[in-house]
Amino acid sequence: MKVHLLYPHQGPDPQRPLPPNHEDLIRDLELEVLLDAMSQGDQFLREVALHHLLWGLEDREVILYRQEILKDCLRLSPVVEEIYHTTLEFMERKSRWWYLSSTRHSNPSLVLSSSLHVLEIALDSLRALRSIGDHHSHAFQSRGFRRFFSMIQEELDDQYLAEVEHHINALKFPKGTLLSAQLGKGNQGSNYQLSKPHSPGENWLKRILTHRSPVYSFTVHPRDDHGLRVLADLRDTGLARVAAAVSRAARHVEGFFKALREEMAFYLGCINLHGELKPWGLPVAFPFPERQEKHCFSARGLYDISLALTVKSKVVGNDIEAHGKDLIIITGPNRGGKTTFLRSVGQAQLMMECGMFVPADSFTANLSSGVFTHFKREEDKGMKGGKLDKELERMSTVVDHLRPHALFLLNESFASTNDREGSEIAGQIIGALTEKGIKVFYVTHLFEFARSFFHRVREKVLFLRAERLPDGRRTFKLKEGKPLETSFGADLYRQIFQGEEELPEHSKKP
Amino acid sequence: MGMTFHSLLFRDIPPGNLAEEAPPCLSDLNLDLVIDAITEPQERHHLKPCFYTPLQDTRDILYRQEVMRDLEDQNLRGAIKTFTDRLTTVKRYLALGEKLDFEYHRKGWFLEGALLYCEILTHLGRRLDDLAPRSQGLRAFGEYLASLRASSRFQSLAREAREVKEGLSRVRYCIVLQDGKFKVKRYEGEEDYSREVEKTFEKFRQREVEEDRLTPSRVPGTSHIEAKILEFVSRLYPQPFAALDEFWSKHAGFLDETVLNFEREVQFYLAYLDFMAPLKARGLPFCYPQVSSGDREEEVRNGFDIALASSRETETIVLNHYSLRGPERVLVVTGPNQGGKTTFARMFGQIHYLASLGLPVPGTRARLSLPDGIFTHFEKEETIHDLRGKLEDDLLRIHQMLSRASSRSIFIVNEIFSSTTFQDALFLSREIMEKILEMDAMGVWVTFIDELSSMSEKVVSMVATVSPQDPAIRTFKIVRAPARGLAHALSLAKKHRLTYEDILERIGQ
């Protein structure tokens, strides 16, 4: 029995740790806000959402498979919630009995009896699932749900369930356990075998035909704990094989409910998020994922979902066409929406890659081999010596994990040194990254760098600039445009220190 | 000939005090891991002190090299290995036989020990006669063994052990376990029950559920309950147990001391041979170094880092040469990161250390001077938050090294001061290099500071090379050549392996 609601051919992978750059991604892309909306305070939902957001899929077929299922979920959310609650109930009841999730170091008698308990509980939950399927399966259209419901109907027929019940009762050995054995090395008992006692009739016949064995008995002192434990251990030795068989069955059923719970938790998170966006009229779209190798990027109305969820209103979206571009260099005035745009790119990519809808009117992009960020950090500015050193160290950590077709978002990297040095380093790094097929979005003030790329390799590079109206106001929209040498820090200075004596920007810095 | 056999590790009576702790240089050279890997399979023999104690006399080095050459013969090695593995088992059985409470358990394990001991001594003796080793150490041991086997005491031990065991293995019985009690009786043909249950649960079996066979929490044991069971069994079948009693009282204390000592010492060689074997199979050369205590000139052809080679089983390992002639004492290695510089430095240290243990070293030819100590200082990989504290630490350690070293010492310095400013690093490195050269010690210094490579005639500049066709491809060859200059910002990028070439290489991996 397999759930297969996240992947057509495999189960979830809950053991996998978050990617090594998860802290940077959460911080740089402001994922906390998004996760809050998806989890609604439920820690498990949050973990599942985070896991899938950060471990994007590289197979577009699987993404489309999830999109179908998610569309079903958004239409039929009450049924989806009912399935989820069935799994919660099973886990809750089971946790009162089943203390042993691994059998490797526990004794067979205990494994046998707790496995029998789990199977008893599972019978109820399986019957509940079947009844949901009997009532609602016709309404679901996705391949994933259709397969799921028909599997339940086929595998959980009445005969199967009755058989399970029979075996549960047969395995309690009321009359003692008979083992046969031989003398092994060092005269220790060996070849212990759970054996079937002769029936009384057989014994009677033997008594007449052969000389019957003498029987020696021994009663262990009730306070001889060690002795009693040895007896129990001997019994366990005999029960090992049957306990293994029963526990395999119990773990299979348990694994099924665990997988179902985790897989449904992902969709429940999406349902929650959808519910949060709706009241504010924030649009979402199911994106069109392209293969990794086919570098493309096309968005209409792409917005920063965390910003929108925070201000609870519509925010400025961007329309960008960057078909076949490996490098998008973004320049322009501070506070012109550059960082917000960078975030929205990262968010949409992560959401698309786990099968979710994205914050845009429409969105097409190639899949990535991983999303990475290198954002300017406060600590890069603060340190007196070796700030470039630190920054390079962080960069190096990212590079450790980059593979071809990664999406790499850089925000003012190498601003910690002068333009010439920064540009030289950035030039080498970005040049090599794009050559290795990594797609780079780079918000930068490094003029030398931007200019050298503008003159060298134009057909693979798109230049965007934060828009600034002739009167100095910003629209927070990005437009295609070549880099301008002057930055707009002075604007900001004037805006904040309006009316103060005008000073050159540099002399104002501490 | 009539040689007396003392030890397989020393020409004479072995010294009493071997080092229990690894010399500090081993971890930087990654030899700690290598030695762990070498000794781990033979942990009970406590071999590490032998690997932690370099020899100071070239004649001891020769004695070991001879034994090692003998043991390179596959047949001889195989015979000794089989013997030592099984002798360990014998000792385990006898130890059990001493600590158990119930006499038929004790005697049972004693019997197992005797059976195995006789078998393996006979076998080893025959093999040594056939294979005729040439080293002084192994020839003396072979003679000793022949006289032991011929003794009448040994002969009767072997015959009687076999007879007693046969009687016991024919016994079969049944136990019925109930709450707090049990019964024991003879076995009367009862059938296996587990198979029936397994068959009925077969349909629940699913591939994706992990198939751990439930191994019972205990193995058959020797508790008072099992002693009771065994007592009942001995009453059900008295004859075989009477024979065991007699055997035990006749043959107590049958193990020979000299054999035991040989067993432990030979592990030193076997363990290292086991370690070399897979490397040799990959075409990596080892040689017996010519070790001198006076000559300061050195030459190594086709050496490599054995720690790297043994941890990367599928990679091609690049072989490197070096030589120190005339006044030359220190190799300064510069060049691109990931170019094999650290590996080269480790190789230098490893070769000296292994040679001083009397072992074969990586390379096709090696002429070395025997050091009185190897001092290493490697930049730690983890980032330290407090740069000043770290620098202070580094300098303290270097000071300590310098004060303990002599002209016969070896220094291996790897990328120190790389997290300080360039000016600081340059200044400090120069000062320390001066001191090492003044002392006339030898060594390798890996650095990103080109200026060090041309400081003195005692310094040899070596460079990690890149492919002449494509500067992005490292060859891992370290060659004698002047250092190539780099701008400061780029050398920082280089330090973090973030140059254009570095990144192409890193992402290619």
Rounded to 10 degrees, the C-alpha dihedral A235/A240/A244/A245 comes to -80
What is the per-residue burial (b if ≥16 Cβ within 10 Å, else e) of B73-101?
eeebbebbbebbebbbebbebbebbeebe
The vertex-B24 CA angle with B18 and B30, nearest 5°, equals 105
Count Cβ atoms below 10 Å from residue A110 Cβ, excluding itself: 16
Element (H, E) at B174: strand B172-178
Among A271, A467, A280, residue whose Cα is nearest residue A356: A271
Q: What is the pLDDT of residue B212?
A: 53
CA distance B37 to chain A (A): 28
Which residues lie across from B178 on neighbouring strands? B181
Interface touch B224/A226, C-beta < 8 Å: yes
Interface touch B498/A395, C-beta < 8 Å: yes
Segment 447-466 of chain B within 8 Å of chain A by CB: none
What is the number of CB-based contacts under 8 A between chain A and chain B?
A: 285
Q: What digits encode the pLDDT tens for the residues A82-114? A: 999 999 999 998 887 655 545 455 678 888 888
Q: What is the pLDDT of residue A107?
A: 78
Q: CA-CA distance, B337 to A478, in Å (whole number)?
A: 40
Amino acid at B239: Q
CA distance B102 to chain A (A): 11
Q: What digits encode the pLDDT tens for the residues A115-156? A: 888 888 888 898 899 899 989 999 999 999 999 999 888 877
Residue with tokens 């030289």: A424
CB of B227 within 8 Å of a chain A CB? The answer is: no
Q: What is the pLDDT of residue B415?
A: 77
C-alpha dist (Å) from residue B94 to B45, B106, B320: 17, 9, 50
Q: Least CB-CB distance to B177: which of A234, A425, A435?
A: A234
Cβ-Cβ contacts under 8 Å, B186 against chain A:
213-214
Segment 228-267 of chain A within 8 Å of chain B by CB: 228, 230-231, 233-238, 240-249, 251-252, 255
Interface touch A231/B507, C-beta < 8 Å: no
Interface touch B209/A399, C-beta < 8 Å: no
Q: Per residue of chain B (509 residues), what is the pLDDT tens digit?
A: 446 788 899 888 777 788 999 999 999 999 999 999 999 987 878 899 999 999 988 999 999 999 999 999 999 999 999 999 899 899 999 988 778 888 899 999 999 999 999 999 989 989 998 999 999 889 888 888 888 888 888 888 888 998 899 889 888 899 998 888 999 998 888 877 677 666 655 655 555 555 555 555 556 678 899 999 999 999 999 999 999 999 999 988 888 888 888 998 999 999 999 999 999 999 999 999 999 988 889 999 999 999 999 988 888 899 999 999 999 999 999 876 567 888 999 999 999 999 999 999 999 999 999 999 999 998 764 444 444 556 677 777 888 888 899 999 999 998 777 555 556 677 788 888 998 999 999 999 998 777 898 889 999 999 888 665 544 456 889 988 888 644 446 767 877 889 888 888 888 75
Q: What is the pLDDT of residue B242?
A: 93
Cβ-Cβ contacts under 8 Å, B111 against chain A:
186
Q: Least CB-CB distance to A393: which of B214, B226, B496?
A: B496
Among A445, A50, A87, residue whose Cα is nearest residue A261: A87
Count Cβ atoms below 10 Å from residue B189 Cβ, excluding itself: 9
Segment 295-324 of chain B within 8 Å of chain A by CB: none
Joined together, the tokens standing for residue B174 give 């049944």
CB of B109 within 8 Å of a chain A CB? The answer is: yes
Q: What is the pLDDT of residue B201?
A: 58
Interface touch B230/A244, C-beta < 8 Å: no
Interface touch A181/B185, C-beta < 8 Å: no
Backbone torsions φ then ψ of B369, nearest 5 degrees: -105, 140
Given a cut of 80, is residue A167 above it in pLDDT? no
Count Cβ atoms below 10 Å from residue B173 Cβ, excluding itself: 22
Residue with tokens 């845009």: A360
| ipTM for this prediction | 0.71
- 3-state secondary structure labels for all residues of A327-395: EEEEECCCCCCHHHHHHHHHHHHHHHHCCCCECCCEEEEECCCCEEEEECCHHHHHCCCCHHHHHHHHH
For an interface test with B, the pick among A183, A202, A400, A430 (most B C-beta atoms closer than 10 Å) comes out as A183
Q: What is the pLDDT of residue A412?
A: 87
Higher-confidence residue: B12 or A290? A290
Q: What is the DSSP string of B431-480?
A: HHHHHHHHHT-EEEEE-S-GGGGGS-TTEEEEEEEE-SS-TTSEEEEEEE
Q: What is the pLDDT of residue B197?
A: 60
Given a cut of 90, is residue A296 above it in pLDDT? yes
Averaged confidence pLDDT in chain A: 83
Cβ-Cβ contacts under 8 Å, A242 against chain B:
194, 197-198, 201
Q: Least CB-CB distance to A187: which of B225, B230, B500?
A: B230
The correct CATH number of A292-508 out of 3.40.50.300, 3.30.70.100, 3.40.50.720, 3.90.199.10 is 3.40.50.300
Closest residue of B to A180, CA-based?
B174
Given a cut of 50, is residue A494 above it in pLDDT? no
Q: What is the pLDDT of residue A199?
A: 59
Closest residue of B to A394, CA-based?
B496
Q: What is the pLDDT of residue B474?
A: 65
Q: What digits encode the pLDDT tens for the residues A381-411? A: 333 334 677 788 899 999 999 999 999 999 9
Q: Least CB-CB distance to A392: which of B168, B202, B493?
A: B493
